[in-house]
Structure 1
Amino acid sequence: MSKGDSMLDWQQIDTVLLDMDGTLLDLHFDNHFWLEHVPVKYAEKHQLSIDEAKHHIYPKFEQMMGKLEWYCLDYWNQELDLNMVELKQEIKHLITLRPGADEFLRALHQSNKQVVLITNAHQDSLSLKLERVELAQYFDLLISSHEFGYPKEEQLFWQGLSERIAFDGGRTLFIDDSLPILRSAKEYGVKHLLAIKQPDSTKELRDTEEFEAVTNYHDLLPV
């Protein structure tokens, strides 16, 4: 397996851990869902203007960001009195892969690497996205942080992961669009870390601070 023009030295990597939303999938779906679609449906249900709905629910979102509840559809079903899975189904056409992700995943699948999806997404959200985009076939294992009871932002997630799968942090690549999550992985001892320059295709490129970042997965080929 030669390095070619890849930005990575694949000879130094045995395990590849990949996030889903904003990393393999365009984050536009999730941003539109939480910031636009949910407020519209909440406004309809509670006879509010959309601005009133946003004023009511945005603080709830901010309070839970980085916690497992933020990613838990069951929590928001109860908190907002809405069926979150049904609402996601209504806009599932927005679920799409990021540029080059399919080619990258195929190359990984043909390699001798251990390839694992690790996501904070609730199982129902994960299932919906796997129905829409064929991802499962490329992975040795699909893991939701809800299985461990802790999000990837917390060290307890990484401890749980190390009990679930065998991996050497010094020979592991982890790609995620969340900088706090990448910092958590670094603290745990994961050596090869990459961020995403443009998780949401409708928004501008962003500063990924101390992390190197991927714009297009073609930059990582060949693996």
Structure 2
Amino acid sequence: MLDWKQIDTVLLDMDGTLLDLNFDNHFWQEFVPLRFAELHSLTLEDAKQQLAPRFKAMEGKLEWYCLDYWTQELALNIAGLKQELAGLIAVHPHVTEFLDAVRASGKRLLLVTNAHRDSLNLKMEKTCLHGFFDEIVSSHDFGFAKEQQGFWQILQDKHLFEKDRTLLVDDSVAVLASARTFGIAHLVSISKPDSQRPVKQVAEFAAVEDFRALMPGL
């Protein structure tokens, strides 16, 4: 699938790409509504109905990924709630093999995530993946989500990668589309970001279920 001779820099997403999205899906779709229901004496279903449009309105914006924003909006300690569920944080199969192979190849390896630093730090503490990366970048450091062109411009200004020799692996089609608009040449989607849900059909980009499919030729 990939001609690794044409790639110098590898950009990897975190949630749904390196890590099982089951943690985040369960957290936002079940655990937060449960605590919101308890706070406001609602049924779980009523809480979900109230929260769904509020979440939808922020999709693709930096606020959607900001724990401080949702802590204020919902009057819940979102970072603290994540700690309570930290046992669900899990690395996808074959990720560490892939990271080892990229490191051994001498290519530059960056983690680029929309995750808030509190969430990022918790996940790195639980998974110990941080040691693989040359740099770890949160979109909150730049003030733009990865869905926005501003993110990619600041990333290139700070980290000086060549667009035509860079690979991005991400489970978000919206993020991949933004990277394509910016000019990043090599784009791959993860089709099974959540281990508890079916494979997604991805028509717009090359897609793999796990990282073994990307390793030939590395």
- Normalised by the length of structure 2, the TM-score is 0.98
Matched, 1:87 2:81: yes
- Normalised by the length of structure 1, the TM-score is 0.96
The equivalent residue for 2:204 is: 210
Alignment of 1:33-112 (within 5 A): 33-112=27-106
Matched, 1:168 2:162: yes
The equivalent residue for 1:24 is: 18
Letter in 1 for 2:79: V
The equivalent residue for 1:114 is: 108
Alignment of 1:1-12 (within 5 A): 7-12=1-6
The equivalent residue for 1:3 is: none
The equivalent residue for 2:176 is: 182
Deviation of 1:107 after TM superposition, in Å, equals 1.1
* Contact 2:192-2:210 within 8 A present in 1 as well: no
- Counterpart CA distance in 2 for 1:44 and 1:27 is 25
- Counterpart CA distance in 2 for 1:126 and 1:216 is 21
The equivalent residue for 2:187 is: 193
- Counterpart CA distance in 1 for 2:100 and 2:130 is 11
SS at match of 1:213: strand
Deviation of 1:165 after TM superposition, in Å, equals 0.1
SS at match of 1:195: strand
- Counterpart CA distance in 1 for 2:51 and 2:34 is 11
- Counterpart CA distance in 2 for 1:104 and 1:30 is 23
State the Cα RMSD in Å. Answer: 0.8
- Counterpart CA distance in 2 for 1:36 and 1:95 is 15
SS at match of 1:22: coil
Deviation of 1:47 after TM superposition, in Å, equals 1.0
Identity of aligned residues (%): 53
Deviation of 1:209 after TM superposition, in Å, equals 1.5
Deviation of 1:196 after TM superposition, in Å, equals 0.6
- Counterpart CA distance in 2 for 1:116 and 1:139 is 5
- Aligned pair count? 217
Deviation of 1:121 after TM superposition, in Å, equals 0.3
Letter in 2 for 1:22: G
Deviation of 1:207 after TM superposition, in Å, equals 1.1
SS at match of 2:73: helix
Matched, 1:135 2:137: no
